[in-house]
Amino acid sequence: MTWGTYSAYVLFVVLVLIVPGPDTALVLKNSLVGGRRGGVLTALGIGAGNLVQGVAAGLGLSALIVRSEPLFLTLRWAGAAYLGYLGVKALIAAKRGDYPALDEAKPGGGRRWREGFLGNLTNPKVLVFYLSMLPQFLTSGSTLAEALVLAATVGVLATLWQLVIVAGVHRVRGWLQRRRVRRVMDGATGTALLGFGAALALEG
């Protein structure tokens, strides 16, 4: 693998990552609920999920999951249910509108990390993404190490992009502390998460 090939790969990954998806909605939700700390931990959880799936793809395990229809369907429904659960929680919060002040020291950081990790890990689209993308940048002479480097690159870039989103939310922290704004944001992210979950469940 040449530097030119790797540079093209990085550019392609960046273009894919900036398209809003379930990970973005989850980072926004947890940045609103848990402040910058909650958003950062969610981003790190998403990055860890990406890394696990990327390594699995590099080792060929993802191909086995995708080819096993019962296992793949189980993963898909689990992912849809989890996104739906998070979406409903956000909508309930929006309806109640009872928000404490954003607190960087607020407990529950482990939960934020788990939500990011499980939200990414149970999304079979990530598996399909790796399996369809990696072969485009590997050749018959490529090594396992090269495949793992490509996979790890996605995890790193995904984490960096989510941290950019967290930083953006933090910059408008004062505005986001307004109750009406928080309710609108929770309603929007909750609806988005439910939509992503429904799309995942209904996808043929």
Q: List, for residues 57-99, the tens digit of each pLDDT value.
A: 777 766 666 666 776 777 677 777 877 877 787 788 777 766 5
Angle between helices 3-17 and 144-171 (to 10 degrees): 40
In Å, how far are 68, 87, 167, 194 from 3, measured between CA atoms? 35, 41, 30, 40
Contact 94, 190 (CB under 8 A): yes
**Which residue do the tokens 């870039």 mark?**
157
**Alpha carbon separation from 31 to 11, 112, 132, 184 (Å, rounded):** 27, 9, 31, 14
- Between CA 89 and CA 87 the distance in angstroms is 5
Phi, psi of 143 (to 5 degrees): -95, 165
- pTM greater than the 0.95 cutoff: no
Q: What is the pLDDT of residues 99-141, one digit of tens each?
A: 555 544 455 568 889 988 988 888 877 877 777 777 777 766 7
Least confident of 29-43, 112-126, 163-177: 163-177
